[in-house]
Structure 1
Amino acid sequence: VGTPAKQITVEMDSEKSGYIGSKVDLRCRFINSFPPVKISQVTWQKLVNGSKQNVAIANPSLGVSVAPPYKDRVIFKNGAVRRRTPNLEDTTITFSALGLTDEATYICEYTTFPAGNRENTVNLTVHVRPTTQMSLSTPTLVARSSNIKTPVATCTSANGKPAGTIRWETRVPGEVTTREVKNADGTVTVQSDYILVPSKERHKETLACVTTYNEEVYTDSVTLDIQYEPDVSVGGYDGNWYLNRENVQLNCQADANPAVSLYQWRLINGSLPSNAEIRDNVLLFKGPVTYDLQGTYVCDATNSIGTQSESVEVSIIGMEKHPQNNKSYVLKNKWFFFLMQWLFYFLCYS
């Protein structure tokens, strides 16, 4: 039984890809017949709009020739091919400094005798990694009573090929709008906005943007800086301001962004008592408490966003109503001491 004849084939990858600026090998290998045929020439061509453009030629007699657009970027990988030898079975080329215009179908064609021409093709795809960026949509986010939804952060995957995909990771409920723009060079820019109602509760919350491109993942985040007017509370009054009590005071606390720039104290339907002293957010009453301190006190806290107020109503307890001067209070304490003495006697002498 004789040895089966080998078929003449041109082996190539059907698809090949590389990133812009990088290099890629386009494989081409001739499987010769038995007995072998003679290879006269190998021609690499680029298919452009249905027509063929020469890229590189290898000829056993004339050597290697590379067309001007590719002269500094395309070489035959096999050194034997470059040395004008008849060994043209492997005519893989290395494409370097890939550009977007290199994306095309390439033909590797063998001219043989007496079998004629044999060829195969490879589709070269050029990828472009996008540049990713995340930023606050506006320099200043302000919480307003109107509750209007607004874009607070923008995530961009620019000039990618193919386009990147964008998703958001955050605890903050909101809406997402995404749009794509196809650029003239074939790349795509994707922009995504995160939309919500700016509020005090969202201040210092984190938004993370996750961009995925060809299984590569990029993550960036921003912290929301939302400005809001003061949220005011007044402390210091414990409901036990009795006559002659010393050194009582009210203090005004405000949660605000930016910080409060001005605190103001006032008394509704009257003027502040003569012994009241204002120390920024503290209203200090010097000396003993008198009935003159009664009334409704208001603290106004102001920042660059607005002014908010909070009030407290102060009542003064007369000495006759103070617990230390209450007869029932004294009586109860006498019974307490009597019981304690009885218990002591019982434990000691029983």
Structure 2
Amino acid sequence: MKAQNPSQDPLNIAVFLPGNEPSYPDSPVKGRVSFVPSPPNMASPSIQITNVRITDEGKYACEFATYPGGNVRGTTQLVMLAKPENSASAVRVVAGTKPVAVAQCQSANGRPAAEISWATAASGNYTTKSKTETNNTVTVTSQYIMVPTPNDNGKDINCIVSHRTLVKPENFKMKLEVEYPPQVSIVGYDNNWYMGRTNVELTCQASANPSPTSVLWKSITGDLPATVQQNENVLKVLKVDETVNATFICEVANRIGTVKEQVAILVRGE
């Protein structure tokens, strides 16, 4: 029995002559190769290799010496597979105007190289690179690249790894993590605030990631009128009078930034 590396001469790895014990010449598989069954059956001799390694991959030939027909050879190709270690994670990013990696996926130490694809409703593309390791396995790394916007935060993104050793592709389900400064709006003013009207209010609505750390109400002239009370993001006017005839500002802050929105109130006569 011979093994052959394309760049080397064939090596005898197992020899059996009728009436003699099997012999196993020096080779990379010596100590791990043996005939089965034992003793060998000349009608159908087989070998087994234990503790197989990536380097055992190659062409193996079984050669019979017959008389007077001469030598007869049969060959087979041993293909080694290595199940990769797969992982994936979303990358926390800040909304902006330049493409960045928002998720990454890796299939490490596989043989052959794994295939990585992505599924998401977010608009972008992906890059993939491969690295051959010292043990002849391959590590594949892929990144999903896009220009992140506030609307992308929380969108589903899936990394799908396919490999010959897997019964079905491995699917890593993630959510995009996009940070952005507050998006602020003020609701509650109906253009019908008249003198003497009671219990009207303005609400400062804010969407942000991370969540807002502060909400501050003030008027464009400085302090809030005495008839106005702030309760977190709500500005409540107990009774409309001439002091409410002003522009109110809502200022919302989070770790990314501070954003202001304002509304001008026109107080009507009774």
Question: TM-score if structure 1 supplies the norm length?
Answer: 0.70
Cα 1:272–1:50 change in 2 (3 A) is closer
Residues 163-174 of structure 1 correspond to what in structure 2 (within 5 A)?
163-174=113-124
For residue 207 of structure 1, the aligned residue among 145, 150, 157 is 157
Partner of 2:34: 75
For 1:230 and 1:52, locate their aligned partners in 2 and report how far apart those are by CA, in whole Å. Answer: 70
For 1:67 and 1:248, locate their aligned partners in 2 and report how far apart those are by CA, in whole Å. Answer: 96
Alpha-carbon contact 1:168-1:207 (below 8 Å) kept: yes
Q: Which amino acid aligns with 2:35?
A: F
Displacement after TM superposition at 1:164 (Å): 1.5
Displacement after TM superposition at 1:256 (Å): 0.9
Asked if residue 88 in structure 1 is aligned to residue 42 in structure 2, the reply is: yes
For 1:260 and 1:221, locate their aligned partners in 2 and report how far apart those are by CA, in whole Å. Answer: 28
For residue 307 of structure 1, the aligned residue among 241, 246, 258 is 258
Partner of 1:47: 4
Residues 12-161 of structure 1 correspond to what in structure 2 (within 5 A)?
44-48=1-5, 49-67=7-25, 69-70=28-29, 72-79=31-38, 81=40, 87-136=41-90, 138=91, 140-144=92-96, 147-161=97-111
Asked if residue 289 in structure 1 is aligned to residue 240 in structure 2, the reply is: yes
Displacement after TM superposition at 1:72 (Å): 4.9
Q: Which amino acid aligns with 2:232?
A: D
1:292 aligns to what SS in structure 2?
helix
For 2:76 and 2:164, locate their aligned partners in 1 and report how far apart those are by CA, in whole Å. Answer: 21
For 1:80 and 1:72, locate their aligned partners in 2 and report how far apart those are by CA, in whole Å. Answer: 17
Who wins on radius of gyration, i.e. which is larger?
A: 1
For 1:263 and 1:129, locate their aligned partners in 2 and report how far apart those are by CA, in whole Å. Answer: 53
Alpha-carbon contact 2:81-2:165 (below 8 Å) kept: no
Asked if residue 229 in structure 1 is aligned to residue 181 in structure 2, the reply is: yes
Structure ranking higher in helix proportion: 1
Q: Which amino acid aligns with 1:274?
A: A
Partner of 1:246: 198
Q: Which amino acid aligns with 2:248?
A: Y
Higher mean C-alpha deviation, range 173-182 or range 251-260: 173-182
Q: Which amino acid aligns with 1:281?
A: N
Q: Which amino acid aligns with 2:263?
A: V
Partner of 2:224: 272
Q: Which amino acid aligns with 1:78?
A: P
Pairs aligned (count)? 266
Cα 1:50–1:148 change in 2 (3 A) is closer
Partner of 1:259: 211
Cα 1:186–1:311 change in 2 (3 A) is same
Alpha-carbon contact 1:78-1:90 (below 8 Å) kept: no
For 1:211 and 1:246, locate their aligned partners in 2 and report how far apart those are by CA, in whole Å. Answer: 62
1:51 aligns to what SS in structure 2?
coil
CA RMSD of aligned residues (A): 2.1
Alpha-carbon contact 1:230-1:306 (below 8 Å) kept: yes
1:101 aligns to what SS in structure 2?
helix
1:240 aligns to what SS in structure 2?
coil
Q: Which amino acid aligns with 2:262?
A: S
Displacement after TM superposition at 1:67 (Å): 4.4
Cα 1:307–1:245 change in 2 (3 A) is same
Alpha-carbon contact 2:194-2:267 (below 8 Å) kept: yes
For 1:262 and 1:165, locate their aligned partners in 2 and report how far apart those are by CA, in whole Å. Answer: 46
- The sequence identity of aligned pairs, in percent, is 34
Deviations 1:11-52 (A, max 9, x none): xxxxxxxxxxxxxxxxxxxxxxxxxxxxxxxxx122244423
Asked if residue 190 in structure 1 is aligned to residue 140 in structure 2, the reply is: yes
Alpha-carbon contact 2:162-2:170 (below 8 Å) kept: yes
Alpha-carbon contact 1:180-1:189 (below 8 Å) kept: yes
1:126 aligns to what SS in structure 2?
coil
